[in-house]
Structure 1
Amino acid sequence: MIQLGQILFILSVLVILHEFGHYITARMFKVRVEKFYLFMDAGFALLKKKIGDTEWGIGWLPIGGYVKLSGMVDESMDMEQMKQEPQPWEFRSKPAWQRLIIMLGGIIVNILLAWFIYTVVYTTYGQKYVSTEKLQENGLSFGETGINVGFRNGDKILSVDGVHQPRFNRMVLDALLGDNIEIERNGEKKTLVLTDANKAEILGKEGRDFVGARNLLSQVIIDSVTPVKNKTAVFTAGDILTGVESKSFTYFDELSDELKNHKNKTVQLNIIRNNVPTTIAVAVDKDGKIGFGDTIFFGPSLEMSDSYVNEVSSGSEAEKAGLQKNDVLLGFNNQTFKQFFEFKTELKKQADKDVTLNVLREAKAMALKAHVNKNGKLGFGLQSKKQPSYEINNKLSLGNAFSEAVKESWQLLVYNVKQFKLILRPKTEAYKHVKSPVGIARALPDSWNWEFIWNFTALFSIGLAFMNLLPIPGLDGGHALFTIAEMVTGKTLSEKAMGHVQTAGMIILLTLMALTFGKDIYQLIVDKLL
C-alpha cells in the first residue's frame, strides 16, 4: 500500500503541474479551457466540478491527465466542434507561435519543477552520490554477469567513451549506454566494448550480479543461522575465511575465483574459528561454488556494541516496537550479546514470542516490547560503525544548488535520449524493461522516505518532459512538430487529416500502454503465485 501511495502521489504532482503548464499558457493567450483532469475519465469521473468555463475533475484511470482546449483536435477527438466556425477564444484561432508555447507549456513546467526540487534537495538533504574513486580504490568485484561480458575482478573503470564519471551509479549506467569502456587491469590500460548481447545480459538481470566494491576476505564472516547448502562443510556462526589449500587471499573474489579451479572436487578451506586457524573439507559444485548463498555477512565488525540500526522495514515487528535508525541494539530480555550472530541465533529460538529489546538511543538505555515473527525475525538491518563510507554528501548554497540542479536536469535529459536509442536496438532487449506505473510502483521502497520521493519525482519529471518531446501524434511533441512545420511552410494540415494523424497517434500510444501495463500486471500475478 505504501508503494501504491508513493506512485499515486508522484503521478498526481507530475500530472497536475504538467497540465497546469498547458492551462496557464492557454489562459495567457485567452484560449478557453473546457476540461482539466487529473487521470483519465474514460466513461466516468470520480469527481468533477465546473468553475467558470472549465470542468475540473479526477478520472478513474491513473495513466496521465489532460486539459481540453476549445478548438483543438486532441485526446477527446471532438471533431464536431471543429466543424463550427472558429471562435476568438479557440486554440485554432491563435497565431502559430502562441499555439507552440501552449503545446510546450507542460514540458517547460516539468523542467522547471525538476530544477526547483533539486535546488531544494541539494540545500536541505545535500547532493549525495557514491564516489567512483572511493568505491573502486582496490578495484571492483564482478559477479557472473560482469565476468561473462569481459570484466575481471580487480578491474578499475577509468572512463566510458573518454569521459570519467565521478558517480559510481552513473558510471554503471554510462557503461550500458556507451561504447568504449577504458579499464585498468593489473596496472595496464585496456578497452572493452560491450556488444548488444552483453548489454542484454546485464539488463536481463536488472544490473544484479554485475559490479560492486571488493570485499576484504578478513571481513567476510559466515552466518550459520541460515543453513549453508554444502555436502560436507560444517560452518559455525562467526567463521572467517582465509584461503583454500595452501593459498591465502586478500579479497573474497580471489577466493571465489580459486574455487572455480576446483569444480566437482573437495578442497581444504582455511578458516578462523574462535580466533583459532583451522581447516575444514568443503565440496565444490560443478559451478565452482560451495553454497554460501545469503549466509555470508560482509562487514568489518560483528560486535553488537559497535553496530547501529541502519534500516527498519516498513510494517515490520521492529517498526511496531519503535526501533529506529541509529539505535544501538545490545540484546533482548536483559541478555546482552557480544556478536551479532549470537543475537540472531538466540532470537530465532524466540519465534512467535514476545521479547523486550535492550537498546541504546543517543546513549540512553531503553526497553522496547517486540514480537518476534514466526521466522524468528524482527525486520531490521545493522551496519558496523567501522564500515567504510563511499558516499559523498555536499550541502550546497542556494546559488550553487540551482546551478547543479540545472546541470543534473540536463544530464538526465541526455540519459533519456541515450536510453531511448538503446530501446530502439532490438538485440539489447532493452524494450523488455520499459515499465508502466505498475512496474515502477513495485520498484519503489516499501517505506515512506521524503528525500527519495522528491529525488524520484524530479527524475520522473525530466523523463516525462522527454517523453512528451517525442514527435509522436498525440503527444505534445507531435503537436509542436506540426505547428513548427506550419510556421516554416505557412501551410496547415486539414482538420480531417489532423483527425487521422491524431487517431493514429492515440492507437500507437494506447497499444504501447497496453503492452507495458499487461507485462507488468502479468509479472505481478506470476510473482504472487510463485
Structure 2
Amino acid sequence: MIQVGQILFILSVLVILHEFGHYITARMFKVRVEKFYLFMDAGFSLLKKKIGDTEWGIGWLPIGGYVKLAGMVDESMDMEQMKQEPQPWEFRSKPAWQRLIIMLGGIIVNILLAWFLYTVVYTTYGQKYVSTEKIQKNGLSFGETGLHAGFQNGDRILSVDGVHQARFNRLVLDALLGDNIEIERNGEKKTIVLTDEHKAEILSKEGRGFVGARNQLSQVIIDSVTPVKNKPSVFMAGDQIKAFGNKSFFYFDQLTDELKKHKNQTVQLTVLRNETPVTLALPVDKDGNVGFGETVFFGPSLEMTDSFVNEVVSGSEAEKAKVQKNDIITGFDNKEFKQFSEFKSELKKSADKDITLNIIRDSKKMALPAHVGSDGKLGFGLASKNQPSYEIVNKLSLGEAFPEAVKESWQLLIYNVKQFKLILRPKTEAYKHVKSPVGIARALPDTWNWEFIWNFTALFSIGLAFMNLLPIPGLDGGHALFTIAEMITGKTLSEKAMGHVQTAGMIILLTLMALTFGNDIYQLVVDKLL
C-alpha cells in the first residue's frame, strides 16, 4: 500500500502542477477554462465542484489529468462547441503565439518544478552519487550478459562514445545507451562495441546490474540458500568461501572465472562454517556455473560489532524505535550475534512481533523496544568500518544548488531523448521494458522516504515534460506543432480535420497505455501466482 500511496502522491503533484501550467497561462490570456481535473473522469468523477466558470474535479482513472479550454479540440472531443461562432473567451479566438504559450505551459511548469525540487534536495540532503573513480579503482565485476558482450572482470570503463562519466550510475546508463565503450584491461586500452543484440540480452536478463563493484571474497558471505530442481544445496547459510582447491583469491569474480575453466567437473571448495574449515564437493555445469546465481544470495560479511547503522528508513519500524545513525546493533532480546546474516535470519523468525533491540550508542549499551515488520525487517542499513565507501555527498549552498539543478534537468532531458531512440530500435527490445504507473509503483521502495520521493518526482517531472513534447496528436507537443506550422504558413487545420487528427492521436495514446498497463498488470498477476 505504501508503494501505491507513493505513486499516487507523485502523480498527483505532477498532474496538478502540469495542468496548472495550462490553466494559469490560459487565464493570463483570458481563455475560459471549463474543467480542471486530476485523473480522468471517463464516465464519472469521484469529486467535482464548479467555481465560477470552471468545474474542478477528481476522476477515477489515475492515468493523468486535463484542463478543458473553451474553443479547443482536446481529450473531451467536444465537437459541438466548435460548430458555434467563435467567442472572445475561446482558445481558437486567440493569436497563435498565445495559444502556443498555453500549450507549452504544462511543460514549462514541469521543468521549473524539477529545478525547484533538485535545488531543495541539494541544499537539504546534498548532491549524492556513486563515484566512478572510486568504485572501479580495482576494476569492475560483470554479470553473464556483460561477459558475453565482451567485457572481462577487472576491466575499467574509461569513456562511452568518447565521453568520461564521473557518476557510476550514469556510466552504466551511458553504456546501455551508447555504442563504443573504451575500457582499460591489464594496462591496455580497448574498445567494446555494444550491439543491439547485446543490449537486448542485458536489458532482458540483468539490466543495470550487468556491471558493478568487485566483491572482495573475504567480505562475502552466503546469506541464504534455496534448492535447485528440488536438490538441496551443498552450502549452508553463513558459509564463507575461503579457497578453491589449493588456490585462494582476493575477488569473488576471480573465483567464478577460475570455475569456468573446470566445466563438467566436480571441484573442491573450502568454506568457513561456524569458524571451522569445511571442504565441499561442488559440481560445475557445462557453462562453468556452480549455482551461485541460482541457489545462493550474497551479502557483505558484516561483523555486528564492527558495523554501524548508516541509514534509517523514514517511517520504518527502526525509526519508530528511535534507532539512530552510527548506532552499533549487537542483537535483540539479549541475544548477541556475530554476523549480520545470523541477525537477519533470526529477525525473520520474529516477523510481526515485538522485540527489544540491543544497541551500543556513544559507548553505552541501550535496549530499544521495537516491532518487527511483517516482512521480517526493521528498516535500517548497516555499513562496515572496514568496507570502502563509493558515495560522494556534496551539500550545496542555494547559489551552488540552483545551477546544478538546471544542469541536472538538462542532462535528464538528454537521457530521455536517448532512451526514446533506444526504444525505437526494435532489435534492442527496449520497448518491452517501458513501464506504466503500475510497473513504476512496483519498483518503488516499500517504505516512505521523502528524499527518494522528491528526487523521483523531479526525475519523473522531466520525463513528463519530454513525453508531452513529442509531436503526437493528443499531447501538448502535437498541439504545439500544428500551432507552429500555422505561425509559419498562416494556414490552420479545419475543425473537422483537427477532430480526425485528435481522434487518431487518442487512439495511439490509448493503445500504448493499454499495452504498457496490460503488460505490467499481467506481470503483477504472474508474480502473485508463481
TM-score, normalising length: structure 1: 0.92
Residues 335 and 504 of structure 1, relative CA distance in 2, 3 Å threshold: closer
Alignment of 1:102 onto 2:70: no
Query: 1:275 offset after TM fit, Å?
Result: 6.7
Aligned to 1:169: 169
Q: Distance in 1 between matches of 2:36 and 2:206?
A: 37
Query: 1:201 offset after TM fit, Å?
Result: 0.8
Aligned to 1:470: 470
SS of the aligned residue for 1:30 comes to coil
Query: 1:381 offset after TM fit, Å?
Result: 4.8
Cα deviation, 1:164-205, whole Å, max 9, x if unaligned, reads 011111111111111111111111111111111111111113
How much is the aligned-residue C-alpha RMSD, in angstroms?
2.8
Structure 2: 5+ residue runs without aligned partners? Answer: none
SS of the aligned residue for 1:181 comes to strand
Query: 1:250 offset after TM fit, Å?
Result: 1.9
Aligned to 1:218: 218
Alignment of 1:522 onto 2:522: yes
**Contact preservation (8 Å) 1:416, 1:466:** yes
**Contact preservation (8 Å) 1:331, 1:343:** yes
Residues 81 and 146 of structure 1, relative CA distance in 2, 3 Å threshold: same
Aligned to 1:418: 418
SS of the aligned residue for 1:367 comes to strand
**Contact preservation (8 Å) 2:145, 2:206:** no
Q: Distance in 1 between matches of 2:100 and 2:219?
A: 60
**Residues 381-460 of structure 1 mapped to structure 2, 5 A cutoff:** 381-460=381-460
Q: Distance in 2 between matches of 1:374 and 1:20?
A: 40
SS of the aligned residue for 2:498 comes to helix
Aligned to 2:43: 43
Aligned to 2:58: 58
Q: Distance in 2 between matches of 1:277 and 1:135?
A: 31
Query: 1:336 offset after TM fit, Å?
Result: 2.5
Q: Distance in 1 between matches of 2:151 and 2:369?
A: 49
Question: Which letter does structure 2 place at the counterpart of 1:118?
Answer: Y
Query: 1:511 offset after TM fit, Å?
Result: 1.0
Aligned to 2:14: 14
Q: Distance in 2 between matches of 1:434 and 1:345?
A: 36
Q: Distance in 2 between matches of 1:400 and 1:372?
A: 41
Cα deviation, 1:1-49, whole Å, max 9, x if unaligned, reads 1011111111111111111111111111111111111111111111111
SS of the aligned residue for 1:248 comes to coil
Q: Distance in 1 between matches of 2:214 and 2:9?
A: 38
Aligned to 1:290: 290
Cα deviation, 1:193-237, whole Å, max 9, x if unaligned, reads 1111111111113516511001122222344x6468798986566
Aligned to 2:3: 3
Q: Distance in 2 between matches of 1:162 and 1:375?
A: 45
What is the identity percentage for the equivalent residue pairs of Structure 1 and Structure 2?
83
Q: Distance in 2 between matches of 1:375 and 1:435?
A: 26
Q: Distance in 2 between matches of 1:492 and 1:355?
A: 71
Query: 1:357 offset after TM fit, Å?
Result: 2.6
Q: Distance in 1 between matches of 2:24 and 2:372?
A: 55
Residues 386 and 56 of structure 1, relative CA distance in 2, 3 Å threshold: same
Q: Distance in 2 between matches of 1:418 and 1:372?
A: 43
Aligned to 2:479: 479
Residues 246 and 502 of structure 1, relative CA distance in 2, 3 Å threshold: same
Query: 1:246 offset after TM fit, Å?
Result: 3.1
**Contact preservation (8 Å) 1:228, 1:291:** no
The number of residue pairs the alignment matches comes to 528
Question: Which letter does structure 2 place at the counterpart of 1:84?
Answer: Q
Alignment of 1:495 onto 2:525: no
Residues 46 and 400 of structure 1, relative CA distance in 2, 3 Å threshold: same
Q: Distance in 1 between matches of 2:371 and 2:421?
A: 51
Cα deviation, 1:82-120, whole Å, max 9, x if unaligned, reads 111111111111111111111111111111111111111
Cα deviation, 1:290-312, whole Å, max 9, x if unaligned, reads 3345646543x532111134567
* Range moving further from structure 2, 421-430 or 381-390: 381-390
Alignment of 1:302 onto 2:305: no
SS of the aligned residue for 1:247 comes to coil
* Range moving further from structure 2, 196-205 or 284-293: 284-293
SS of the aligned residue for 1:472 comes to coil
Question: Which letter does structure 1 place at the counterpart of 2:18?
Answer: H
Q: Distance in 1 between matches of 2:347 and 2:70?
A: 67
Query: 1:79 offset after TM fit, Å?
Result: 1.0
**Contact preservation (8 Å) 1:233, 1:281:** no
Query: 1:365 offset after TM fit, Å?
Result: 3.1
Cα deviation, 1:225-276, whole Å, max 9, x if unaligned, reads 6468798986566554343223332211011011111123222224456777
* Range moving further from structure 2, 64-73 or 238-247: 238-247
**Contact preservation (8 Å) 1:233, 1:283:** no
Residues 231 and 51 of structure 1, relative CA distance in 2, 3 Å threshold: closer
Aligned to 2:140: 140
SS of the aligned residue for 1:483 comes to helix
**Contact preservation (8 Å) 1:154, 1:185:** yes
Residues 169 and 402 of structure 1, relative CA distance in 2, 3 Å threshold: same
Cα deviation, 1:115-160, whole Å, max 9, x if unaligned, reads 1111111111111110001000000000111111111101111100
TM-score, normalising length: structure 2: 0.92
